[in-house]
C-alpha cells in the first residue's frame, strides 16, 4: 500500500509540473513588430497560416520556415517556400536547438523573432530559445487538439526533450 501511495504522490507531483507547462503554457505578449516570424518543425498548415496572418497584420515582413530535406514538407514541395518573403531552411541538427542555431545564422541579438509551434512544445521552445537564440524570442502556439493518447505521448516526448536540452545544450 505504501508503494502505491508513493507512486501516486510521484504522479501527482509530475502532473502538477507538466500540465501547466505542456497543456496551459503562459500566453506571451505578442510584439507589435518583429524582424522575423519563424515556423519551427514540422511546418504544418496551421503554423504557416498563423505566420501568414501575422505577416498580413504587419507584424513582420519575413517568414522563416524550418523544413525537412525531403518529403511533402520539404522546401521543394512546400508551396509557402516559393513565396519571395519566405526563406525555408533545414537546420542541422534538425532539433529545436538546431532551429535556434539556424535563426542565429540570419538574425543577431538586436532582432526580434516570433517563433510558432504547437501548445505542448511552447515551454520547451521558450527554454531552448532562452539558452540558444541570439534574438529576442516570443513563442506563439497554434490551437492544438490532441486525444488522450497524443497528450500522453507529448508529455513523454517533451519531458525527454527538456532532459536532452539540459544535457546536450546548444549546437
Residue 125 is assigned to a structural domain of this protein = yes
Residue 17 is assigned to a structural domain of this protein = no
pLDDT of residue 6: 56
Beta pairing, strands 36-39 & 62-66:
parallel
Residue 107 is assigned to a structural domain of this protein = yes
Using CA atoms, how far apart are residues 80 and 22, in angstroms rounded to an integer?
28
> What is the sign of the dihedral through the CA atoms of 150, 53, 41 and 121?
negative
Query: Structure pTM?
Result: 0.90
Residue 12 is assigned to a structural domain of this protein = no
Residue 4 is assigned to a structural domain of this protein = no
At residue 19, what are phi and psi to the nearest 5 degrees?
-60, -50
Residue 121 is assigned to a structural domain of this protein = yes
Q: Quote the number of domains for the chain.
A: 1
For residues 116 and 50, the answer to whether their CB atoms sit within 8 Å is yes
| CATH code of the domain containing 30 | 3.40.50
Residue 3 is assigned to a structural domain of this protein = no
Please give the residue range of the domain that contains residue 107. 24-168
pLDDT of residue 3: 76
Residue 15 is assigned to a structural domain of this protein = no
Q: Average pLDDT per run of 10 along the chain, which is 171 residues long?
A: 63 62 78 98 96 98 97 94 97 97 98 98 97 98 94 94 93 91
Amino acid at each position: 500500500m505504501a508503494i502505491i501511495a508513493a507512486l501516486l504522490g510521484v504522479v501527482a507531483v509530475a502532473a502538477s509540473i507538466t500540465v501547466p507547462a505542456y497543456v496551459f503554457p503562459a500566453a506571451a505578449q505578442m510584439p507589435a513588430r518583429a524582424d522575423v516570424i519563424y515556423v519551427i518543425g514540422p511546418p504544418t498548415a496551421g503554423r504557416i497560416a498563423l505566420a501568414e496572418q501575422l505577416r498580413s497584420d504587419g507584424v513582420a515582413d519575413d517568414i522563416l520556415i524550418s523544413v525537412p530535406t525531403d518529403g511533402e514538407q520539404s522546401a521543394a514541395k512546400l508551396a509557402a517556400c516559393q513565396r519571395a518573403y519566405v526563406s525555408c531552411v533545414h537546420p542541422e541538427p534538425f532539433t529545436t536547438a538546431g532551429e535556434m542555431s539556424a535563426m542565429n545564422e540570419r538574425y543577431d541579438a538586436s532582432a526580434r523573432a516570433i517563433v510558432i509551434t504547437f501548445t505542448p512544445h511552447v515551454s520547451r521552445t521558450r527554454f531552448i530559445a532562452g539558452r540558444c537564440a541570439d534574438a529576442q524570442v516570443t513563442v506563439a502556439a497554434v490551437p492544438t487538439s490532441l486525444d488522450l493518447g497524443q497528450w500522453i505521448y507529448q508529455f513523454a516526448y517533451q519531458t525527454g526533450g527538456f532532459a536532452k536540452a539540459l544535457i546536450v545544450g546548444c549546437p
